[in-house]
Structure 1
């Protein structure tokens, strides 16, 4: 075999090896880190599949982490160190990533968004997601909570930054009701117009010279003011974002469950 052919064969074998390695690495991407053993194998597989499917559509890695203690490390720092060391992301290391972490020992929950997720899942939107899934976490419905995290994060990333995804104007049922309402008004107006105008009113039958009604007036009797106590602000949430020791900024929302 000539030197030229040997070189081509070596190149071809190397190419196949790199292609196989890349495919394996991509197939082995992990999104569920259930260190606290809260999920069954079937639930892990379903969440892994859901995170992979919706993550590809948003070009974002949706990651869930459960632990039984952090060895004294703050949960925010734990998430930051995880991102620095594991370098998650779909198309590149330290790529677009949304992380949900819960610590069963302290009952802490923290959500974070890195890169594109920091912009589309800002701290305000992460607060909304956390409020949605906290009741399920408190009741021990971890699979439902993690599914809601993935689905809601996916939904929110479909809105431009700065827009409130929970605005009633964006709800399909409100848009349907508004459309039906407008259609009803138009039909009612058309029906009214088709029946002709009524030109007779109460004044047509009243003789102002012979009527005993001399005058009319409104008399103010009293004023009533109702006061309602403003509910206290929930101080158990918040947290905001920050910057990891590796220099990666992120949004964030911290609370208890």
Structure 2
């Protein structure tokens, strides 16, 4: 029998962190090695997620927790401000990062890739671990070959820190790979309210909606003569990301360097 993969969770008492902890505890091939959070030091993370005590106590020091626990993988859904330092600490400790927080720059991802290769380990940085969202991106990229007129509308809660979302940017990149740059709309178009047409990317627009009560949705709209095609994905609960995170944790053990995006693991 293969050894269990030892998983540490950053931001373990946060909303996404709790779901990751539940996922790890529910998979016999995984073992919860450490729970790291800025608060609840010394509390049993099992109790914090509403389950029976599991014997893993919350630690506020990431480096200490990773080294003392013998973690193989660090799952991080914290904040753009924290995730870079967390990832560097993890890689230097020989722990493979699986990052779902958006906001890392291309330069930071490249540096993480370099650090991972120097240590002989791998990791994953993905804007979205939802299998449905990955399929949405794949379908949109395919449609762009035949319907190049497109716009993206993404919806998130009003407390999201970045706009547009990492998922919409990755979707736009995938669309651009299958489409020549085409500046859409009337060439004499003029915005009477600045920004009303959304952000410009490769000839098309991305629109970000930020409202309370919204969780995470994205719609990709293609227009053609006499027809439109709408590809939409809606997330209603954080638990919907966990099957993808589970796959990513296991795939990270096989990788060298950083893989950006989760779509390469979905056939």
TM-score (norm: length of structure 2): 0.28
Flag the structure with higher helix content. 1
TM-score (norm: length of structure 1): 0.29
